[in-house]
Amino acid sequence: MKLPARQRTTRDLKSLQRLMTATLVRPLTRTNRLQGRWTDGRTMEAVAASFIKPNDRLTSFERLQIYARCYWFRLLDSFYDDCPGLRAVLGEKKFMRLGEAYLAKYPSRSFTMRNLCSRLEKFIRSEPRLTAPHTALARDVVRFEWAQTVAFDGEGRPALTADDIADRPPTRLRLGLQPYLSLLALDYAADDFVIAVKKEGELSGDASNTPVAAPRAAKLRRAPRPKRGRVYVAVHRHDNMIYYKRLEPAAYRILRALRAGQTIAQAVAHVRGVTPENLQAWFKNWVELGWFCRRD
């Protein structure tokens, strides 16, 4: 991409912005410098000089390099803080290699750092070699850590009360689930594992409603990787606190069916071995937690 000598139109400005962005999101070298060549073979010194002026202390290349380093160091720092569980699974060096590869393929496109890891699970699925031999565990940990971010500041809608749903027949009643509520079917107890590796007091709990802090920087504790075993977890918030809650397999299937748009009667009909007392207790608890809202 070559720019005109002067920026005269909005189109010229957009071209300048695209070039600047493209130079920043390219991975740095191992010594944290800009790469020596641009995609078309030109030197980076020539590319930088085409749209950045030098000054009496720094060349165009050096000025651009400052911006590139700021971009990469800020994103990697945020990535490091947001994924303590994944860091514990992979180890520091392997984790940082994964982060650099992820951010090179999926550079930040949002005005907020909150969304930085939104495509991390997708990336791990497409590049399993970067997390081998613990790819399955890494995926589960990433899903649980991202669910905490969603629970922390995801959209919340007015919750339905028991009175809102009491008089409607279950064969016709469809319930929405809060957007901040994540329902996870995990092959590993990633919830307990992430809790164990965070600093004591920031994230603690048992297998029920356990408050957790927002996913930010925490010193890691040594914790053994969990053994394979199916668990079902809901990650949500209540009274501005993050919680996670283990679910019975049948309860998980009912909630998933409700989220998919089935009526209460349809959702319950496919579940076997659940007593009416179980169903009554579950729905009572879910209403109290504010999980139900009106469907779109």
CATH at 199: 3.90.930
Asked whether residue 257 is domain-assigned, the answer is yes
Residue at a domain's end among 78, 95, 121: 78
The count of domains in the chain is 2
Q: Residue 48 is inside which H or E element, if any?
A: helix 44-49
**What digits encode the pLDDT tens for the residues 145-193?**
999 999 999 999 999 999 988 888 899 999 999 999 999 999 999 999 9
**Same-domain check for residues 170 and 258:** yes
> At which of 46, 78, 110 does a domain end?
78
Q: What is the pLDDT of residue 209?
A: 37
Residue 10 has a pLDDT of: 83
- How many CB atoms are located within 10 Å of the residue 111 CB? 7
Determine the pLDDT at residue 223: 78
Per-residue pLDDT tens listing for the chain (296 residues): 555 556 668 888 888 889 999 999 999 999 999 999 999 999 999 999 988 999 999 999 999 999 999 999 999 999 999 999 999 999 999 999 999 999 999 998 888 999 999 999 999 999 999 999 999 999 999 999 999 999 999 999 999 999 988 888 899 999 999 999 999 999 999 999 998 888 543 433 333 333 444 344 445 556 788 999 999 999 999 998 999 999 999 999 999 999 999 999 999 998 988 999 999 999 999 999 999 999 87
74 with 161, same domain: the answer is: no
**Tokens matching residue 167:** 């008089």
Final residue before a domain boundary, out of 52, 78, 104 = 78
pLDDT at 296: 77
Please tell me the pTM assigned to this model.
Answer: 0.84
pLDDT at 206: 34
In a domain, residue 123? The reply is no
Q: Is residue 91, in this structure, part of any structural domain at all?
A: no
Show the CA angle centred on residue 220, arms to residues 218 and 222, nearest 5°: 160
pLDDT at 214: 38
Please give the pLDDT value at position 11: 83
Partnered with residue 203 across adjacent β-strands are 212
**Residues 171, 268: one domain?**
yes
Do 68 and 195 belong together in one domain? no
62 in any annotated domain? yes
Rounded to whole angstroms, the Cα distance separating 149 from 146 reads: 5
Radius of gyration (Cα) for the chain, nearest Å? 24
Residue 199 pLDDT: 56
**Is 104 among the domain residues?**
no
| Same-domain status, 190 and 63 | no
Separation of CA 248 from chain center: 24
| Amino acid sitting at position 168 | R
Does residue 89 lie in a domain region?
A: no
**Whether residue 196 sits in one domain with residue 74:** no
Let me know if residue 53 belongs to a domain: yes
Q: Which domain holds residue 27?
A: 1-78
Give yes or no: residues 274 and 169 share one domain.
yes
**Residue 100 included in any domain:** no
> Residue 13's pLDDT is what?
85
Are 64 and 170 contained in the same domain?
no
